Amino acid sequence: MSTLERYMKILITGGSGFIGSHLVARYQGRAEIVVLDNLRTGKRENLAGFDCQFVEGSILDVKILDQVMSGVDLVFHLAALVSVAESMEQPLETVALNVTGLLNVLEAARRHGARKLVFASSAAVYGENPTQPKVETQTPDPRSPYAVTKLDGEYYCAIYERQGWLSTACLRFFNVFGPRQDPASAYAAAVAAFLDKARRGETMSIHGDGGQTRDFIHVADIASALAFVGEHPEATGVFNAGYGNAITILELAEKIRDAVGSSSALEFSPPRLGDIRHSTSDPSRLFSLGWKPTYDVVSGIANLVAAKN
Ligand SMILES: NC(=O)c1ccc[n+]([C@@H]2O[C@H](COP(=O)([O-])OP(=O)(O)OC[C@H]3O[C@@H](n4cnc5c(N)ncnc54)[C@H](O)[C@@H]3O)[C@@H](O)[C@H]2O)c1
């Protein structure tokens, strides 16, 4: 049972992105929703049909942050430069958006007396550490500017929490999939890219031998985990957000092809530089607070295939 009984006002930075739009969907009728997004990678149409106030602007603009933060109880900070590959090309921009941007949002939340901020971190912070499954206490090994900024963000959130300036929680998302994920993006996640190819009956291309494993989690469960930690005062610190089940990329491609009923061929292309071999979460810290996912990877794929977007 949520501890937030009263109607609240929430701010979602990056709310017109893939994950943010599912959080907007989740809070329909439950909260007054403000979205701050500069549409860097997000899309206005992701919010079509949803009741929310959309403000086009940047987390680097302190004046806009003061406007949108007024009266806000709960902040979900999702706005970021989201691509590992782009972060390798643009480390300074990555730090500006992902570190200075987060600090701007933390400071505005503190100034305006918000109750809590939930930060979208990433399993990328684990990097090459070979230990499986990944537990929150293991030594991080970030290998890209993107991963470093997510780890920095967690440390800043911990300072605000420890100093009593603002309650914070960080979720390390594993591989998120679901409706509205962009298959056209140069960095399309495996699920969106495979689904697009399977639907067109085109060859599905797998990097390497397909034996690499990932912990895929449906975006509706990520939205529910964000809301859960936001609404539970005892949920502070860092939490893995995954199902705790690994699936190989080859199995994933086959499951998507079967779910679509497609006859797409599978081909193997050279492995991607820097791709880690295995990544599975230990989500027991989040589960022990009482959060439960709705899907697993198989039912999640079935939901995605059935969804109209
Ligand atoms: N998708 C995943 O598998 C995954 C995994 C780990 C972490 N994350 C994190 O989750 C969050 C959401 O990611 P997503 O997959 O929905 O990506 P996304 O690109 O769809 O969403 C990011 C949003 O942030 C917005 N944005 C970028 N710069 C901004 C700025 N200066 N001011 C305001 N808005 C800005 C973009 O326009 C976009 O709408 C990100 O912080 C990302 O790092 C995602």
Eight-state DSSP code of residue 197: H
| Tens of pLDDT, residues 141-185 | 999 999 999 999 999 999 999 999 999 999 999 999 999 998 876
Quick one: which atom of ligand 1 is closest to the CA of 121? 7
Q: Does residue 3 contact residue 231 with C-beta atoms inside 8 Å?
A: yes
Q: What is the CATH T-level fold of the domain 8-176+219-242+281-297, as seen in this structure?
A: Rossmann fold (3.40.50)
Pocket of ligand 1 (CB under 6 A): 13-14, 16-20, 36-42, 58-60, 78-80, 82, 97, 101, 120, 122, 173, 175-176, 189
Cα 101 → chain centroid: 17
Q: Would you list the domain boundaries of the chain?
A: 8-176+219-242+281-297
Torsion angle (degrees, nearest 10) of CA 12, 309, 146, 173: 80
- Cα of 207 vs centre of ligand 1, distance in Å, is 24
Q: Specify the ligand 1 atom closest to the Cα of 77.
A: 41
Residues in the chain: 309
Q: How far apart are CA 39 and CA 237, in angstroms?
A: 29
79 C-alpha vs ligand 1 centroid, how far in Å?
Answer: 5
Residues 14 and 80 sit within 8 Å (Cβ to Cβ): yes
Is 146 one of the annotated active-site residues of the chain?
yes
The CB-based long-range contact list for 267-274 (8 Å cut-off, 24+ gap) reads 267/203, 267/204, 267/205, 267/206, 268/205, 268/206, 268/207, 268/208, 268/209, 268/210, 269/205, 269/206, 269/207, 269/208, 270/207, 270/208, 271/207, 271/208, 271/209, 272/207, 272/208, 274/143, 274/144
pTM: 0.96
> How far apart are the CA of 197 and the centre of ligand 1, in A?
24
Query: Which stretches in the chain have pLDDT values below 70?
Result: 1-6, 185-188, 273-274, 308-309
Distances (CA, A) of 163 to 116, 133, 160, 249: 13, 31, 5, 43
User: How remote is the CA of residue 172 from the centroid of ligand 1, in Å?
Assistant: 13
Please choose from 62, 78, 238 the residue to mutate so as to test ligand 1's pocket, defined by most ligand atoms within 8 A of CB.
78
Q: How far apart are CA 5 and CA 223, in angstroms?
A: 19
The predicted pLDDT at position 130 comes to 86
Q: What's the rounded Cα separation, in Å, for the pair 53 and 55? A: 6
The residue contributing the CA closest to ligand 1 atom 30 is 58
Q: Are strands 266-269 and 53-56 parallel, antiparallel or unpaired?
A: unpaired
Q: Percent of the chain at pLDDT above 70? A: 95
Residue type, 297: V
Both tokens assigned to 86 = 């782009």
* Catalytic entry in 126, 146, 243, 295: 146
